[in-house]
Amino acid sequence: MKHKNLLFETLRESSASVLPIVLIVAVLCFIWVPMQTDLMLAFVIGAVFLVVGMGLFTLGSSLSMTQIGSHIGACLTKSRKIWLILSVSFLLGAAVTVSEPDLKVLAASVPAVDTTVLILVVSVGVGFFLLVSMVRILRAISLKWLLAGCYTAVFVLALLADRDFLAVAFDSGGVTTGPMTVPFIMALGVGVASIRSDVRAHEDSFGLVGLCSVGPIFAVLILGFIYRASPEGSEASAVISYADTVAMGHGYLRAIPENLKEVGIALLPIALIFTVFQIVSLRLKRFPLLKILIGVVITLTGLTLFLTGVNVGFSSLGYMLGERLSAPKWRFLLIPLSMLMGWFIINAEPAVQVLNRQVEEMSSGVISARAMGLSLSIAVSCAMGLSMMRALTGLSILWVVLPGYLLAICLSFCVPNTFTAIAFDSGGVASGPLTAAFMLPFATGAVSALGGNIMTDAFGLVALVAMMPLITVQVMGLIYVWSTRRKAAPGKLTAQTDSEVIELWEM
């Protein structure tokens, strides 16, 4: 009964994420912007696949991936072998990232880089920085100083890198912090922090997700120095059309086994690592083990349905809608429409609601959940607007992310440590599945119709959406600091904020 209620809840949350975009698109296509019937029908069917797929994936991940991460994290902690902790952290970080749905969607959307190459490079980047994160916890290195150093190196490298890889690199950092990766990272972080006995150990277990987001940026920028992008692929169309309903049905039926095979291969490394731990040390009893295995099957099914809905239905209509709205008579709608969709996308993200409530509790009501939600909605809406402005003008991604991250790093030295950790951990909250599945193809279609460079002008959308919470959450932290100083003694502030336990990703 508990799992049945959880399934209904996950389906309700996924419906809340998808339906606002479906309604906006339906209004546009039925009233103003004509669209082929086959694309619209494929989009509606794809929306159903997305709702069911996201719901099953969330349920399966909580039953299997979260449990696997917790068990392995506890096992590593008991061993107290630093070399084992670091080695497994790298392997887990890389293996879990391979199966992230948002990364798969992004990699398939990058026309000039081989999909497998991009996924592997990003995964290695996450694995390496998860290893760095473990070292930070064990050595009690300050998060804000480490982030400042890493992003300084990122932007120095970005100034030298191939401009075609800049936007994709920053997008890669935004799509790797999803429901597959986060449970592992958080479980490992809390487990490794327990090895230390000082009072700041638990606080240092936060911020891992934000730090791991730096790895893919580094990895893809380095890839740009050694990988030659195919110029003919940079104009590839993302549209799949069908002659009739039978052809559409066959399209979906062909896509399901293809995606099932792809997802199965992606989940295989996680299954192998868990199997080794189960045989060597975990030795879980029959019921907990069966629960995890069922969760893996549900995860496999949900992720397959999700990718099928994206590839067959959602991406094509998003691409065509962006292309049609780039016509001179509709071009004025691009920025406000993108901002409107950004507003609804962030409001529908269930993890954002969790974040808002926790900030309200942490600030003792000084920052209400409603105020936090409003600030995030404004931030992501502005991020979408900036992305469309870049599509229209060709503005380099560096002109936006450089001052944005500089402001975020500066704010980290002005707010309590917990707010900084939450801010950088929550960067991936805003860039949910719909950002990569619909908004990115939408931007790609617009840039293609406008004659721009897809690699430099369309990509970067996910990066801007992921960057905004870094600023917004810390601005909320500043408000809390100022409010607390007016109401209480300054010495009370640190005790209230830095000792709080923040379970940002608890669903």
Look-up of token digits 């890839």: 223
The runs of H, that is alpha helices, within 326-416 are 334-348, 350-362, 369-393, 398-412
| pLDDT tens over the chain, length 507 residues | 566 677 787 788 788 778 888 898 888 888 888 888 888 888 999 989 988 988 888 888 878 877 887 788 778 777 777 888 888 888 888 888 888 888 888 888 888 788 889 999 999 999 999 888 888 887 878 888 999 999 999 999 999 888 888 999 999 988 887 666 766 677 677 667 666 666 665 666 667 778 888 999 999 999 988 887 665 444 444 567 777 788 888 888 888 998 898 888 888 888 888 898 888 888 888 888 998 999 999 989 998 998 898 888 888 888 889 988 988 888 888 899 999 988 887 766 655 665 666 567 656 676 677 777 788 888 889 999 999 999 999 899 999 999 999 999 999 898 887 778 778 877 766 776 778 888 888 999 999 888 888 888 999 998 998 888 888 888 888 887 887 777 665 444 444 444 444 444 343
Specify the pLDDT at position 428: 66
d(CA 192, CA 190): 6
Q: What is the 3-state secondary structure (H, E, C) of 116-179?
A: HHHHHHHHHHHHHHHHHHHHHHHHCCCHHHHHHHHHHHHHHHHHHCCHHHHHHHHHHHHHCCCC
- Say which residues have a Cβ less than 8 Å from residue 388's Cβ, sequence separation at least 6: 334, 335, 338, 443, 446
Q: Positive or negative, the Cα torsion across 380, 385, 391, 395? A: negative
The model scores a pTM over 0.85: no
Q: Which residues contact 175 (CB under 8 A, 6 or more apart)?
A: 100, 102, 103, 105, 106, 428, 431, 436, 462
| Domain ranges for the chain | 2-22+62-229+244-497
